[in-house]
Amino acid sequence: MEHLQKVYQSRGGAAHLALDDVSFAVEAGTFLAVMGPSGSGKTTLLNLVAGLDRPTGGSVILADQRLDRLSEEQLARVRRRYLGFVFQDFHLLDPLTVEENVLLPLTLERAAREPEIARVREVLARLGLADKRDRFPFELSGGEQQRVAIARAIVHRPALLLADEPTGNLDSATSRIILETFADLHRADGATMLMVTHDPFAASYAERILMLKDGRLYAELLRGADDRPAFYQRIIDALSALEVAA
Amino acid sequence: MSWRVLWRRLMFRNFRAYAGYVLIFSVAVTIFYLFQTLSTGLGSASAIQRRDYLTDVIGVMRGIVFVFALFFVAYFHRLLLLGESRALGLLGTFGMSRHTRRGLVLWESILLGTAGLTLGLALGLLLEPLFLLAAGVFLRLPWRLAYEFRPQLLLLTALAFAVLVLLEGGISAELAVRRWPRQLLSASRAVEEVRQPSRVRAILGLILLAAAYLLAAVIHPRILERYTEEQAEVGWLGLWLLLTPIILLLTLLGSYWLLAEGLRLLLRHRLVAPGSRAESLLARARLGARLRAHAGSGAIIAGLLAFVVTDTCMLIGVQAQVLRSTLLLNPVVVQITHPENDEAAIDAEAQRIASSLSEAGFGPVQAVRLRLVLGATPLLPFDEDGLAHFGHPRGGWYTDRIKGVNIIAHSAYTHLIGAIEVAHPSLTGIFPAVPELQPGQAFAIRTRFEEERRGWNDPAVQWLSVGRTFNVLGYDVFRVAPEEVTPDELARAPLLEVTLVGRASTAGLPTNMAAGFVNQTFLVVDDATFSALETSVREFDPESIYSFTGLFYPRWRDSQAVLMRLLPDYPVRMTSELNVQPLPLIYAEQYREFGVLLFTLSAIALLFLFASGAVIHFKVSERLESDVRQVTALRRVGATKWHVRGIFVREAAVLLLAPFLLGMVHSAVALIDWVSMLDMEAVFDRNFDIWGFTYRTFLGMALGIGLVVAVYGGAVIYRYAGRIWDRSGPAARGW
């Protein structure tokens, strides 16, 4: 991300600067969290990274391509091939079974055959959902639904996994399971992840944290050699210090 | 497995919503196809049988049905797409290209359209014989509408709807892909923003409704009162027509603001009331949001319900009046003429007809001797100046040059009204009493005439001034078209001078059914004058008295020929010597005049009602996911199934009953408007209490529809609440 800027025009013509000169890089295999209070520009940033919105200034480079220069068809291809999405409220398609929901991203590239179906089953098994594959989303608990959403996000081996408040709708026990799943994916597969959250506990699972405030990057924390509880404490301290400074 | 297969599975498992759309589509196709067949059937029958406005009305109806079909397909397709917005947004987010999404929406639209079209045409073909039979009976057609396989109609219907599907599918697809996936996603995940109710809009809504009601109940009918055909250029009719959409617009906007703002204000006030139970609080809180979301459709449903109830009340009222006026006001109008004036033959035939009618269920029937000679009264002498006006569009036959009147002998008139009053005591006093007349004296009677409106000041009747002397022309104005009368012929016609000694009006039609349509005036003359005129007319043109005089038929010029064709279908066979105007014919003609309207408006009303039900169905099901989430949260905090059902039932009660009650108020005001206009038009028999009849019909309708709404709404919501409860179970148990 290079000097990203996003300005929204209100109906009355007033301009709102949602992101202002934000630059950072996400190395392959990094688990990055973006934190910030409401209205700080987290979701705007996520939309720009995903190519779901176009920046007013600056650029997003993904897989050697400047997203702001791509046509909508090309952006769609980028999302299809390189990105995976996990949403706060899961967004599973109710009429499809668990297996069909997970299969969906694969079918956008080409019709699914045996290897693709085997891949779906493998991912479901890995996330502990092997026995749920013929269930419908409404038959699952919230935690299970989010795990299905994660399976759907990683099934096509995306270069970057984007998660928007993935534990926002879950209780703490289920949140922990979901975050452990992310951490496991990161450790075992070297998945690159960008997670937007306002929850310090969730952010403590990342290895690097960017803090946004009023559309600008104002702090960055690296986990380094700290274990998760220690990193969590550092995040709390950093947030407190910033609160005091504000 | 491709995404198309997955999408098809998604459609199949969401069968209810898609089947609902297909069903609506097929109903639209079926109705359109059936009206096509009816219109075509009438068209071909008219070519050999008769032409009347029935064909034109059904033709217009075909257009209206197509407009409705357009509305159905577009509106419900958009609702369907709204339900799919999350899935489409997800596909876009996951990388499905715009091109593919556009194709998907179009493909789906074509698939569903094809299913709907096939089903609709199949239903149409299946129902066509029954529909044509019902239409024939309903419209009292004198010929049978034959069922005939018409591939060109199938093709035309298929083509019209195929174009519709492609257009609607194309536009919807373009609209769907123009939105960014992010927007589609955020549309379904955004926290519902419920704006605070606006006191200003609520008051404005009340003011608009009050203005609409005032216009409809008071001003609208008064404007029509100012209208006369002679003053058409003043534009009162235009103003009246202009006012109608204004009233509709004010009603819709007022209803919307009343539902969206007024009711919400009331709820907000009640929300903080002490002593409320938890489910009441929740129900009111949810209602606050729902009322705003449903206010648009609520206002439309209120309007549609009002239309259905008003329309039905009007039509039932009109039908009741048609029956009444036919069977009561014209109890003995069976006219028989004989070239030789053979009284015995006429009496025998009259008796035969009377017993036939009684056997056919028309009664009571009593034969009364009545002689009629048609006459025409020239206001001006038949000089060159007067005759020159024949060719002038507004100066010819029926304006101030020559007035067509019927002439009846005093004894026949007295005998006739006496017989009517004996047979129907309720009509006593409806016909004016005519004093004894001296030779050369005449008494004018106007029928279907409202004195309070324009009265005798109407320019059309100013020539009937008491004391005036004028010539009566012995010529049958109904027999031939004015254009066919040569000035020479008219100049040779016998004239008889009469002096008008009195005049009166009546809502009844004692002598001649044609009086209501063609000629609203008849003259009672003393028996000697009548006899002199009859003799002179016979000498002048013996054929004139053979003609039919009382055809209740809008195109009087065609009436004779039409009756000639129709008469063989009736129990009394017409001979060369006896001409008969049977009561069943009059009734059939009258019924058909209103039957077309009844049929047309009822079909529209049914469409409206069907559309209302479909709107409710789609509106309920589109909230499914959000409701599951809310109920899940409620279960976590301890709500039981009964709490949840209570919340939904309360909500539905307000959401369904508010538009229903509003619709009934609209309808009541519309009926006041209608009855006021009828009073002015004097269309109705004075003895017929149209308001009393209408309000009873209205109450019956309101209760009936209220019951349907309550049962339908209750059943839908009860099932829906159960479904939501079941679906929220696993999520609630998961934590």
pLDDT digits (tens, 9 = 90+) for A28-83: 889 999 998 878 888 888 888 888 888 898 999 987 889 888 888 888 888 888 89
Chain B residues whose beta carbon lies within 8 Å of the beta carbon of residue A81: 95
Overall average pLDDT of the B555-580 stretch? 38
> In terms of residue numbers, what domain contains A74?
2-92+158-245
Min distance B3 CA to chain A CA atoms (Å): 5
Asked if B10 has any chain A CB less than 8 Å from its own CB, the reply is yes
CB contact under 8 Å between A138 and B628, yes or no, is: yes
| Beta strand pairing call for A2-9 and A15-22 | antiparallel
**Do the Cβ atoms of B466 and B441 come closer than 8 Å?**
no
Of A212-216, B113-117, B333-337, B665-669, least confident by mean pLDDT is: B333-337
Asked if B454 has any chain A CB less than 8 Å from its own CB, the reply is no
Min distance A244 CA to chain B CA atoms (Å): 31
For residues B194 and B130, the model is more confident at B130
- Provide the CA B708 distance to its chain's centre, in angstroms: 22
CB contact under 8 Å between A53 and B180, yes or no, is: yes
What is the side-by-side strand order in the sheet with A31-35?
A: A83-86, A160-164, A193-196, A31-35, A208-213, A216-222
CB-defined contacts A:B, below 8 A = 106
For residues B730 and B545, the model is more confident at B730
Asked if B98 has any chain A CB less than 8 Å from its own CB, the reply is yes
> If 0-12 CB within 10 Å is exposed, 13-18 middle and 19+ buried, where does residue A153 land?
buried
CB contact under 8 Å between A138 and B730, yes or no, is: yes
d(CA A165, CA A196): 6
pLDDT in tens, B643-685: 888 888 877 778 878 888 999 999 999 888 888 776 654 444 5
**CA nearest A170 in B: which residue?**
B735
Among B2, B94, B188, the residue with its CB nearest the CB of A105 is: B94
Among B87, B99, B733, the residue with its CB nearest the CB of A93 is: B87
Q: Which two tokens stand for residue A208?
A: 């690097």
A148 occurs within a structural domain: no
Of B117-126, B407-416, B562-571, least confident by mean pLDDT is: B562-571
Query: Which residue from B25, B39, B259, B35 is spatially nearest to B119, judged by alpha carbons?
Result: B25
Min distance A124 CA to chain B CA atoms (Å): 18
CB contact under 8 Å between B90 and A93, yes or no, is: yes
Min distance A157 CA to chain B CA atoms (Å): 13
Asked if B628 has any chain A CB less than 8 Å from its own CB, the reply is yes
Task: Note the pLDDT of residue B231.
Answer: 54
**CA nearest A114 in B: which residue?**
B1
A234 occurs within a structural domain: yes
Overall average pLDDT of the B180-195 stretch? 52
Q: How many domains does chain A have?
A: 1
Chain A residues whose beta carbon lies within 8 Å of the beta carbon of residue B730: 138-141
A197 occurs within a structural domain: yes
Among B10, B97, B180, the residue with its CB nearest the CB of A93 is: B10
**Do the Cβ atoms of B339 and B577 come closer than 8 Å?**
yes
Cβ-proximal residues to A176 (8 Å cutoff; 6+ apart), any chain: none
Is the pLDDT reported for residue A218 higher than 90?
no
CB contact under 8 Å between A87 and B13, yes or no, is: no
Best mutation target among B15, B97, B184, B186 (most A Cβ atoms within 10 Å) is B97
Best mutation target among A107, A141, A196 (most B Cβ atoms within 10 Å) is A107
CB contact under 8 Å between A87 and B185, yes or no, is: yes
Min distance A112 CA to chain B CA atoms (Å): 5
A19 occurs within a structural domain: yes
CB contact under 8 Å between B94 and A81, yes or no, is: no
Confidence band for B393, pLDDT divided at 50, 70 and 90: very low
Asked if B93 has any chain A CB less than 8 Å from its own CB, the reply is yes
CB contact under 8 Å between A103 and B731, yes or no, is: no
Chain B residues whose beta carbon lies within 8 Å of the beta carbon of residue A73: 97-99
Between helix B583-621 and helix B690-734 the angle, nearest 10°, is 20
Of A184-188, B194-198, B239-243, least confident by mean pLDDT is: B194-198
Task: Note the pLDDT of residue A32.
Answer: 92
A162 occurs within a structural domain: yes
Domain containing residue A74: CATH number: 3.40.50.300
Asked if B734 has any chain A CB less than 8 Å from its own CB, the reply is yes
Chain B residues whose beta carbon lies within 8 Å of the beta carbon of residue A143: 734-735
Among A89, A104, A107, the residue with its CB nearest the CB of B189 is: A89
CB contact under 8 Å between A108 and B95, yes or no, is: yes
d(CA B684, CA B314): 13
What is the residue-wise DSSP string for A73-95?
A: HHHHHHHHHHEEEE-TT----TT
> If 0-12 CB within 10 Å is exposed, 13-18 middle and 19+ buried, where does residue B373 land?
buried
CB contact under 8 Å between A95 and B14, yes or no, is: yes
What is the side-by-side strand order in the sheet with A2-9?
A: A15-22, A2-9, A57-59
**Do the Cβ atoms of B243 and B220 come closer than 8 Å?**
yes
Asked if B606 has any chain A CB less than 8 Å from its own CB, the reply is no
Query: Which residue from B584, B551, B543 is spatially nearest to B406, judged by alpha carbons?
Result: B551
Overall average pLDDT of the B183-211 stretch? 72
CB atoms within 10 A of CB B335: 21
Best mutation target among A52, A113, A132, A178 (most B Cβ atoms within 10 Å) is A52
A42 occurs within a structural domain: yes
Of A205-209, B387-391, B707-711, least confident by mean pLDDT is: B387-391
Confidence band for B332, pLDDT divided at 50, 70 and 90: very low
Is the pLDDT reported for residue B596 higher than 70?
no
d(CA B532, CA B349): 25
Among B6, B95, B628, the residue with its CB nearest the CB of A100 is: B6
Best mutation target among A90, A94, A109, A129 (most B Cβ atoms within 10 Å) is A94
d(CA B120, CA B115): 8
pLDDT in tens, B512-537: 333 333 345 678 889 888 877 767 66
A22 occurs within a structural domain: yes
Is the pLDDT reported for residue B543 higher than 70?
no
DSSP-assigned letter for residue B456: G
Chain B residues whose beta carbon lies within 8 Å of the beta carbon of residue A171: 735
The complex's ipTM? Answer: 0.88
Q: B502 - beta bridge partners? A: B443
Among A47, A73, A141, the residue with its CB nearest the CB of B98 is: A73
Chain B residues whose beta carbon lies within 8 Å of the beta carbon of residue A144: 734
CB contact under 8 Å between A79 and B94, yes or no, is: yes
Asked if B178 has any chain A CB less than 8 Å from its own CB, the reply is no
Chain A residues whose beta carbon lies within 8 Å of the beta carbon of residue B636: none
A85 occurs within a structural domain: yes
DSSP-based three-state secondary structure for B445: strand
Among A79, A100, A174, the residue with its CB nearest the CB of B9 is: A100
Is the pLDDT reported for residue B126 higher than 50?
yes
> If 0-12 CB within 10 Å is exposed, 13-18 middle and 19+ buried, where does residue B700 land?
middle
Among A85, A138, A145, the residue with its CB nearest the CB of B94 is: A85
Integer CA distances (angstroms), B665 to B143, B261, B669, B692, in order: 42, 19, 6, 17
CB contact under 8 Å between B734 and A143, yes or no, is: yes
Task: Note the pLDDT of residue B567.
Answer: 42
CA dihedral B444, B449, B453, B454 (to 10 degrees): -40
Overall average pLDDT of the B572-585 stretch? 41
Asked if B97 has any chain A CB less than 8 Å from its own CB, the reply is yes
Confidence band for B460, pLDDT divided at 50, 70 and 90: low
Q: Per this entry, what is the length of chain B?
A: 735
**CA nearest B13 in A: which residue?**
A95
Cβ-proximal residues to B295 (8 Å cutoff; 6+ apart), any chain: B256, B257, B259, B260
CB contact under 8 Å between B189 and A104, yes or no, is: no
Q: A217 - beta bridge partners? A: A212
**CA nearest A47 in B: which residue?**
B182
Angle at A78 between CA A75 and CA A82, to 5 degrees: 155
Claim: this prediction has a pTM higher than 0.80: no
CB contact under 8 Å between B96 and A108, yes or no, is: yes
